[in-house]
Chains A and B, each alone.
Chain A
Amino acid sequence: MYVAVKGGEKAIRNAHTLLARDRRGDTSLPALTLAQMTQQLYLSISRVMAEGSLYDADLAALAIKQARGDLIEAIFLLRAYRTTLPRFGYSQPIDTATMLIRRRISATYKDLPGGQLLGPTFDYTQRLLDFTLAANGEEAPATPQTQAFEAQERVPRVTELLDDEGLMEPDAELPEDHEVGDLTREPLEFPAGRDLRLQNLARGDEGFLLALGYSTQRGYGRTHPFAGEIRLGEVEVSLFVEELGFDVPLGEMTVTECQMINQFAGSAKAPPQFTRGYGLVPGQGERKVMAMSLVDRSLRWQELGEEATSPAQDEEFVMSHSDNVQGTGFVEHLKLPHYVDFQAELDLIRRLRAEWFEKNQKTTGETADLEAAQ
């Protein structure tokens, strides 16, 4: 039961002033600029854009600054902001084969056409703290080396290489008249199609998906994964504008994509072949796309005639708990006043205790009488 109470306006106002002061910190230090953040903290920006489900690096930077670096709070701010904007439409599906590639690796083919391009990666670093970054007057980084390259309009995906032999399952198509599900328009209902699942995972919490993906590797719904291909780069986004009758280019967007290849022994529904889990996020988010593709594959158990035994295969469990804004809302609402609720609980517990003691005393009394009689 909720009872409206008033009060605390002054306390709230003063708390917000305190928050603003603490957010700014020592004013003898220069304030962070959004440009500094988009340039130097791009992976935080990426995470906020992916889970805030809004591609706009400057807004993500503003949100992180306002949230004092609390990324989930920043994600919440982006989600709130997007509700104030009108929808112009749905883009044409982006084509990651035409990506301007900045990183592309495969754990399944050493000699994939185009080669293994490491790009800007933490892999192969020693994970030793670099104290030169802590020193004032950090030196300008070395100019990256360059090398001649082959011009390629389209970089084929690794999964296309196995397609010819029928060893790789083809990408699932949905019927022509299938309207692509949109979580921002229609409330979630189960069972959900793969389109809704992918949308849900793409905006899901990275930590949650990482834990679920990890659980599948440790044996909870094992899927024998290989990182078929991971790529990072820029793709063109275009929108069909009815007045013009063609797809109008809107600019380029950074995305990270992962194709996870999974062994599959075959079932009554499908022959033995490699199956796939898919991951795609805006910005640069390699851990997230890898985890996403593991969970995407796990959630496909029904379609492939597998047995569901593990949390990562439970669509309702995964999709209902992947959203950290929803999770935050429900967990954090517990700190709001529940005075009346609690008062009722208190009364109940007092009554139950009284009843319990009364009953126990009676029983103890009866036992004593019985013993005395014997």
Chain B
Amino acid sequence: MTSSQGTSPRGAPSTGEPSARRTAMATLANATIADLEARLAAHPLPQEHTIIRQPEIGLVMVRGRAGGTGAPFNLCEATVTRCVVALPDGTTGFGQCLGRDKHKALLCAALDAYWQQEPLQEAIESEILAPLRNIETKRKEQTKAEVAATKVDFFTMVRGE
């Protein structure tokens, strides 16, 4: 018996308008718990959500591609924590991030739920997500600049007669 493997075909069309929501989820997943809590301390969320899937630690099998672009293969598993909350109107919020931080998964889920509420979205974008993105961008720019300093400048030597 083989298990079905629930991945979409590559580049499968996404339903709805997930790109902005996906971007928000990526920002949350990449943030450290300390940064996330600091933003939430400054801009607390409403507490109307209920947990419908308790924060849970599990595994995702991470895939690579042979040669980088070829057929997929299973590289290794990674720990992932996920959580789902619901708002009184039935809106569901999903939190999932690499690692084993249940509190972070819960915060991500709650933020995803409230982000989908028209009146709250703008505030979450500007007060929570924008500063987190700022931190992330700074970190990445710093890495790139440090790595750029290790770029080799070749000097061609004249050889022979």
Which chain A residues have a beta carbon within 8 Å of chain B's beta carbons? 49-50, 53-56, 58-59, 82, 85-97, 100-103, 110-111, 115-119, 144-149, 157, 159-160, 170-174, 176, 178-186, 194-196, 198-199, 202-203, 236-237, 239-253, 255, 257, 259, 276, 278, 280-282
* C-alpha spacing A53/B59, complex, angstroms: 11
CB contacts under 8 Å to A, within B70-94, are 70-80, 82, 92, 94
Give the residue of A87, A182, A278 whose beta carbon is less than 8 angstroms from that of B67.
Answer: A278
- Number of A-B pairs, beta carbon distance below 8 Å: 258
With CB as the reference atom, state the residue of chain A lying closest to B77: A54
Which chain B residues have a beta carbon within 8 Å of chain A's beta carbons? 2-3, 5-10, 12, 14-16, 18, 22, 25-26, 29-30, 56-80, 82, 92, 94, 96-100, 140, 142-152, 154
Chain B residues with Cβ below 8 Å from A172 are 66-67, 70-71
Chain B residues with Cβ below 8 Å from A147 are 145, 148-149, 151
Give the residue of B7, B29, B65, B92 whose beta carbon is less than 8 angstroms from that of A250.
Answer: B29
Q: List 14 A-B contacts (CB under 8 A).
A: A54-B78, A86-B59, A89-B61, A91-B63, A94-B64, A94-B75, A117-B150, A173-B71, A184-B74, A198-B73, A199-B74, A243-B94, A251-B97, A253-B98
* C-alpha spacing A227/B78, complex, angstroms: 28
The answer on a CB contact under 8 Å between B71 and A194 is yes
Can you name 18 extra interface pairs (CB under 8 A) apart from A96-B68, A252-B30? A55-B76, A58-B100, A82-B59, A91-B62, A96-B64, A116-B152, A118-B151, A146-B146, A172-B71, A180-B72, A181-B73, A195-B73, A203-B76, A239-B96, A243-B94, A245-B15, A280-B75, A282-B75
* C-alpha spacing A174/B26, complex, angstroms: 30
* C-alpha spacing A280/B63, complex, angstroms: 10
Among B72, B97, B99, the one with the most A-chain Cβ atoms within 10 Å of its Cβ is B72
The answer on a CB contact under 8 Å between A249 and B73 is no
The answer on a CB contact under 8 Å between B25 and A248 is yes
Q: Return A187 CB to nearest CB of chain B, in Å.
A: 13
* C-alpha spacing A115/B97, complex, angstroms: 33
The answer on a CB contact under 8 Å between B59 and A171 is no
Chain A residues with Cβ below 8 Å from B154 are 110-111
Chain B residues with Cβ below 8 Å from A202 are 64, 73, 75-76
The answer on a CB contact under 8 Å between A194 and B66 is yes
Q: Return B113 CB to nearest CB of chain A, in Å.
A: 12
The answer on a CB contact under 8 Å between B64 and A55 is no
| A55-B66 contact, Cβ under 8 Å, with A148-B145, A184-B61, A249-B26 | no
The answer on a CB contact under 8 Å between B29 and A251 is yes
With CB as the reference atom, state the residue of chain B lying closest to A296: B66
Q: Return A191 CB to nearest CB of chain B, in Å.
A: 16
Chain A residues with Cβ below 8 Å from B100 are 56, 58-59
* C-alpha spacing A304/B65, complex, angstroms: 19
* C-alpha spacing A149/B148, complex, angstroms: 6
The answer on a CB contact under 8 Å between A237 and B148 is no
| A171-B71 contact, Cβ under 8 Å, with A55-B77, A89-B60, A117-B148 | yes
The answer on a CB contact under 8 Å between A199 and B67 is no
The answer on a CB contact under 8 Å between B77 and A250 is no
The answer on a CB contact under 8 Å between B63 and A90 is yes
Among A149, A180, A184, A249, the one with the most B-chain Cβ atoms within 10 Å of its Cβ is A249
Chain A residues with Cβ below 8 Å from B145 are 146-149
The answer on a CB contact under 8 Å between A239 and B148 is no
Chain A residues with Cβ below 8 Å from B16 are 245-246
| A119-B76 contact, Cβ under 8 Å, with A90-B5, A92-B63, A172-B66 | no
* C-alpha spacing A85/B147, complex, angstroms: 37
* C-alpha spacing A255/B74, complex, angstroms: 14
